[in-house]
Structure 1
Amino acid sequence: MTKKFVLTLSLALGMAASATLAGGHIEGAIKARQGQMQLYQHYLGILGGMARGNVDYDATAAQAAADSLLAVASINASTLWPAGSDMDSVEGTRAKAAIWENFPDVGTKSMAMTSGAAAMAAAAGTDLDALKAAMGGVGGACSACHKAYRGR
C-alpha cells in the first residue's frame, strides 16, 4: 500500500464529509459512511474468500486487500457520524441512535477494527494459515459493533 493511496482515500472521504457537513446535509454523511462500509465489505470479501477456500490464496492479492482494509480502517470517520443521522431520524440508514448515547464505546470498537486490520495487514501476505488466523480479529470487531449499533 502506498502513502499516495492512503492520502488519496483520506482526502476523498474527508472532502465528501466536509462538503456534506458544511451544507448541513446529513444524507451526504450517511452516504460517505456507507461507502466506507462497502469498502470494508469489498476487501473482507477478497480475504474471506481466500480464508474459506472459495478463492485460491494469492499472497500478493491478499496483501493488497489487507493493506487497503487497514487504510480504510485508519480513516478519521468522525465527521461521518453527525447527530441526527440515525435510523429513527433519517431513512436509508441502519445506524441505531444508541451510537450517540455511547460514543466512547463506538470509539473503542473502532479502535478494535483498526487493530484487527493492522494484524491482518501483518499476516495476509505471509501464508493462508496466517490470513485465516487474522480473520477472527477483524470479524469480531465488525460483529461487536454491528450487534450493538446496527439495526435491521
Structure 2
Amino acid sequence: MNTLEKTLFVVTLGAGIVASTAFAASHADKAAADAVKARHAQMQMVSYHIGVLGGIAKGEAPYDSAVVDAAANNLAALASMSHATLWVEGSEQGAVEGSRAKPEIWSDSAGFEAKFNDMKMAASALVGAADAAAVGAGMGALGGSCKGCHETYRGPKN
C-alpha cells in the first residue's frame, strides 16, 4: 500500500468510526427521549387512577367496589413496570427535555425501587376496600408513597 492509499484508508476508517459513534449517540439520545415520554405517560396514568380513587374517597363519585379494585390494581401494575426501560441512564433532568429525574435515581437505585414498591403496596391495600371511607383511609399511604418518591428523586420544574 502506498502513502496515498494508506492516507485514504486511515481517513475512510476514521470517518466510519465517527459516523458509527454519531449514530450510537443519536440512538442513545432517542432512547432517552423515548423513555422520558413513556414515563410521563406512566405518571399520567398514575394520576388518572389516583384521581378515580380520590373522587370516591371525597364523595365526588359513587363508591363502586369494581372501580376501586380496578384503579388499585392498575396502580399496582403501573408501579411494577420495568425501570430498566423507563428510567434509562442519560435521561436525567438537564440531559433530556422534559425530564425531572434526579441523578439519585441511578446512584440509589435500590431506594428508588423501594419507593415504587411502597406505591405498589399502598395501591394493593386498597383492593377490597369496603366503602368510600376505607378508600379515603388508604389514600394517605398512597399519596405518601408518591410524595416520598417525588421529594427524593424528582427535580424542580424548569
TM-score, normalised via structure 1 length: 0.77
Q: Give ranges in structure 2 of 5+ residues lacking alignment.
A: 1-26
Which letter maps to 1:100?
Answer: W
User: Equivalent residues in 2 for 1:3-152 (5 A)?
Assistant: 25-123=31-129, 126-152=130-156
Superposed displacement of residue 115, structure 1? 0.7
Q: CA RMSD in A?
A: 1.9
Structure 2 CA distance for aligned equivalents of residues 148 and 22 of structure 1: 26
C-alpha contact (below 8 Å) 1:70/1:121 kept by paired residues: no
Structure 2 CA distance for aligned equivalents of residues 143 and 70 of structure 1: 16
Structure 1 CA distance for aligned equivalents of residues 146 and 78 of structure 2: 13
Superposed displacement of residue 55, structure 1? 2.3
Superposed displacement of residue 86, structure 1? 0.6
Higher relative contact order (CA 8 A, sep 6+): 2
Which letter maps to 2:107?
Answer: E
TM-score, normalised via structure 2 length: 0.74
Equivalent residues, number: 130
Structure 2 CA distance for aligned equivalents of residues 120 and 31 of structure 1: 28
C-alpha contact (below 8 Å) 2:57/2:135 kept by paired residues: yes
Structure 1 CA distance for aligned equivalents of residues 117 and 73 of structure 2: 16
Matched with 2:10 is none
Indicate the structure (1 or 2) with the bigger Cα radius of gyration. 2
Which letter maps to 1:50?
Answer: I
Q: Give ranges in structure 1 of 5+ residues lacking alignment.
A: 1-20
